[in-house]
């Protein structure tokens, strides 16, 4: 639909379209108000989940891909200096935290829902804190300004996944698409085999990295300067706040939405790197990360919702590039739908393998030994 528009037009459209993040955030209070006095009261709390994972994948096919890359010589320097894009992402922090607190109050005090409605509410809120909150946090933790670093840490603490701030930048980006990376899924590995390993090693790797950093400063791992301790302490304060304000149900809500949010993150990790690996060189090191080591998805609509997260190939090649100037590469391996559709597909391993395994094999055509070696390495 937009693929033939001039690049300059697309950049203008996208500068406005990045505000789409407000749609799922506002979808939470709207679904509550529409459920009031409705004979389908327990259905409305599922609204955001159904739209994100049902409607958006269809719209991705209809609206199509985004062909626009900013000009490196002129547009990229200009766009990276425009405070508009930074402000747009920073506004998400108070909006998401305010929504989260209000949603906890609704969960505890709204008596019209049965457990079915409450489950839909938790899944919808966790989808927003995961899809929008963690996505924006991911953008922030790759940037140098302390304001953005702290904003990213706060959003991650709000879903009890502060270790991601450390492990993702200093672990995942170093070891991506190698056997050392717990966030890179293997060829033939199901989502349900991937998730438990990812949960555990996200925390363990973060702790190891912080312990090594502090050791270089001649400090013990159990020290107030351990960043991991600080962010999880903030998570504990969130939990305490929800408990004091809303009782044990408030605590349950906070933990449950956190689990939904960070599970969504790890499913995205599974999708982004499935079956791809960096080749090992003769010197024993892995080749340098480049845009061919991550799955790319250039569907316009989901990219607007997710601040260009789906241009993941460019992100891994140039991690500090801001979201508004991430580029699409035709030679990167391409997903057949946006992340929302691929997440749904990943929940059904036989369907996932039927769609994705041929794409992985096609990517390694002519060097199938690479794929075989990868399978053996990760068995």
Average pLDDT score over residue span 101-120: 97
Burial 114-148 (b: 16+ CB within 10 A, else e): eeebbbbbbbbbbbbbbbbbbbbbbbbbbbeeeeb
Is 80 exceeded by the pLDDT of residue 4?
A: no
- pLDDT given for residue 292 in this prediction: 80
Average pLDDT score over residue span 151-164: 97
What digits encode the pLDDT tens for the residues 9-46? 889 999 999 999 999 999 999 999 999 989 999 999 99
Banded pLDDT at 379 (limits 50, 70, 90): very low
What digits encode the pLDDT tens for the residues 299-319? 999 999 999 999 988 888 888
Give the tokens for residue 49. Answer: 């989940």
Range scoring the smallest mean pLDDT among 3-12, 307-316, 352-361 = 3-12
- pLDDT given for residue 372 in this prediction: 61
Closest CA to 137 of 166, 178, 177: 166
- pLDDT given for residue 370 in this prediction: 65
Is 70 exceeded by the pLDDT of residue 50?
A: yes
- pLDDT given for residue 294 in this prediction: 87
Is 50 exceeded by the pLDDT of residue 369?
A: yes
Closest CA to 363 of 266, 278, 267: 278
Is 70 exceeded by the pLDDT of residue 376?
A: no
CA 235 to chain centre: 19
- pLDDT given for residue 331 in this prediction: 81
pTM: 0.93
What is the Cα–Cα distance from 50 to 124, expressed in whole angstroms? 9
What count of other Cβ atoms lies within 10 Å of the Cβ of residue 216? 7
- pLDDT given for residue 1 in this prediction: 66
pLDDT higher for 228 or 179? 228
What is the Cα–Cα distance from 175 to 183, expressed in whole angstroms? 9
Q: Residue 255: which residues within 8 A CB-CB, separation 6 or more?
A: 160, 239
What is the Cα–Cα distance from 107 to 111, expressed in whole angstroms? 8
- Is the alpha carbon torsion for 225, 229, 230, 231 positive or negative? positive
In whole numbers, what is the pLDDT of the chain averaged over residues? 92
- With tokens 């559709």, the residue in question is 341
CA 94 to chain centre: 19
Greatest extent of the chain over all pairs of C-alpha atoms, in Å? 68
* Domain ranges, ordered by start, for the chain: 7-377
Closest CA to 264 of 378, 148, 106, 138: 138
What is the Cα–Cα distance from 337 to 65, expressed in whole angstroms? 10
Say if residues 274 and 266 touch (Cβ distance below 8 Å).
Answer: no
What is the Cα–Cα distance from 249 to 109, expressed in whole angstroms? 10
Say if residues 231 and 162 touch (Cβ distance below 8 Å).
Answer: yes
What digits encode the pLDDT tens for the residues 69-107? 898 889 999 999 999 999 999 999 999 999 999 999 999
Banded pLDDT at 281 (limits 50, 70, 90): confident
CA angle 22, 265, 334 (to 5 degrees): 90
Average pLDDT score over residue span 234-242: 98
Say if residues 242 and 104 touch (Cβ distance below 8 Å).
Answer: yes
Is 70 exceeded by the pLDDT of residue 153?
A: yes
Banded pLDDT at 377 (limits 50, 70, 90): very low
What is the Cα–Cα distance from 158 to 95, expressed in whole angstroms? 13
């Amino acid at each position: 639909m937009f693929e033939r528009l001039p690049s300059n037009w697309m950049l203008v459209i996208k500068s406005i379209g990045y505000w789409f993040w407000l749609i799922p955030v506002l979808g939470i209070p709207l679904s509550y108000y529409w459920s009031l006095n409705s004979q389908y009261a327990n259905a409305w709390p599922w609204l955001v989940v159904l739209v994100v994972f049902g409607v958006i994948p269809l719209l991705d096919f209809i609206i199509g891909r985004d062909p626009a890359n900013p000009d490196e010589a002129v547009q990229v320097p200009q766009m990276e200096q425009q405070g508009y894009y930074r402000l747009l992402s920073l506004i998400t922090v108070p909006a998401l935290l305010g929504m989260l607190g209000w949603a906890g109050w609704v969960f505890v005090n709204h008596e019209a829902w049965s457990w079915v409605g409450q489950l839909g509410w938790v899944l919808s809120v966790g989808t927003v804190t995961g899809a929008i909150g963690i996505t924006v946090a991911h953008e922030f933790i790759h940037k140098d300004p302390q304001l953005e670093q702290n904003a990213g840490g706060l959003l991650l603490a709000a879903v009890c996944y502060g270790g991601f701030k450390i492990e993702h930048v200093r672990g995942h980006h170093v070891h991506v698409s190698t056997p050392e990376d717990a966030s890179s899924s293997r060829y033939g590995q199901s989502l349900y085999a991937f998730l438990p390993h990812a949960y555990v090693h996200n925390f363990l790797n973060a702790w190891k990295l912080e312990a090594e950093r502090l050791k270089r400063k001649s400090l013990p791992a159990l020290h107030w300067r351990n960043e991991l301790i600080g962010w999880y302490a903030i998570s504990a304060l969130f939990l305490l706040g929800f408990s004091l304000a809303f009782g044990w149900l408030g605590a349950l809500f906070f933990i449950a939405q956190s689990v939904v949010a960070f599970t969504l993150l790890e499913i995205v990790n599974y999708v982004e790197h499935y079956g791809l690996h960096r080749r090992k060189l003769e010197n024993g090191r892995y080749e340098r990360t480049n845009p061919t080591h991550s799955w790319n998805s250039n569907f316009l609509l989901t990219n607007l919702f997710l601040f260009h997260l789906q241009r993941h190939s460019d992100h891994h090649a140039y991690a500090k590039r801001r979201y508004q100037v991430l580029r699409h590469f035709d030679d990167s391996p391409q997903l057949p739908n946006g992340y929302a559709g691929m997440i749904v597909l990943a929940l059904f391993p036989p369907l996932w393998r039927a769609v994705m395994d041929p794409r992985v094999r096609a990517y390694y055509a002519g060097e199938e030994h690479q794929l075989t070696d990868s399978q053996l390495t990760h068995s």
